[in-house]
């Protein structure tokens, strides 16, 4: 990453999915363990649990002058509502990452669909850690954080007694993301629309 480059990630879903926790862990991994500049912001609907939730992580090699995402490099959408609401904020060469069990209508083929909730339920035994499965995939696909730093940040944040479960979830997401070849995706989220014009 060049000193003046920004990389912006938006984590989105509904309240209660652990979206904000995942973003905080990502920011910790980048800032505390990878020594990059990072800013993390969040917002959620007034209904909190079940309402729209988003959190952003802005990463840079130099100090960050504006803390919020301007054009997102990677959008994680854990619900269809979040995908629909935030897809238009992705850069042309950005990447959409979704929970394939919860997001069925994809607005672009420059996307990665991973069954985060199903993996959490079937491999880890708790749907509650779908956010950490997603975090593992986002960490790997973004290339913006060392996976060791991400795990250290995770272990410093999760409640005592849940470390193994959360670590297993993180690694399950990383392993699933390793199966993805981003070179096979279209170069732009706009490519399908441009062909129709």
Digitized pLDDT (tens) for each residue of the chain, 197 residues in all: 555 689 999 999 998 899 999 999 999 999 988 889 999 999 876 555 667 899 999 999 999 999 999 999 999 999 999 999 999 999 999 999 999 999 999 999 999 999 999 999 999 999 999 999 999 999 999 999 999 999 999 999 999 999 999 999 999 999 999 999 999 999 988 755 444 44
How many Å apart are CA 147 and CA 86, to the nearest integer?
26
Three-state SS at 122: helix
The CATH number of the domain covering residues in 6-178: 3.40.920.10
Q: Note the pTM of the prediction, 2 decimals.
A: 0.92
Domain ranges of the chain: 6-178
How many Å apart are CA 40 and CA 38, to the nearest integer?
7
């Amino acid at each position: 990453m060049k000193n003046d480059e920004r990389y912006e990630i938006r984590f989105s879903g509904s309240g209660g999915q652990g979206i904000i926790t995942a973003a905080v862990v990502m920011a910790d991994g980048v800032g505390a363990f990878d020594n990059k500049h990072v800013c993390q912001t969040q917002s959620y609907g007034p209904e909190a649990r079940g309402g729209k939730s988003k959190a952003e992580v802005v990463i840079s090699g130099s100090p960050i002058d504006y803390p919020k995402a301007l054009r997102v490099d990677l959008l994680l959408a854990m619900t269809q509502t979040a995908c629909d609401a935030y897809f238009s904020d992705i850069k042309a060469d950005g990447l959409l990452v979704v929970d394939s069990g919860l997001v069925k209508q994809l607005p672009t083929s420059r996307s990665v669909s991973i069954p985060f909730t199903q993996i959490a339920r079937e491999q880890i035994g708790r749907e509650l850690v779908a956010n950490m499965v997603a975090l593992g995939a986002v960490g790997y696909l973004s290339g913006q954080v060392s996976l060791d730093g991400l795990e250290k940040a995770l272990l410093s944040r999760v409640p005592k007694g849940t470390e193994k479960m959360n670590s297993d979830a993180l690694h399950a997401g990383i392993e699933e993301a390793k199966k993805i070849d981003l070179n096979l995706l279209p170069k732009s989220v706009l490519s399908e629309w441009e062909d129709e014009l």
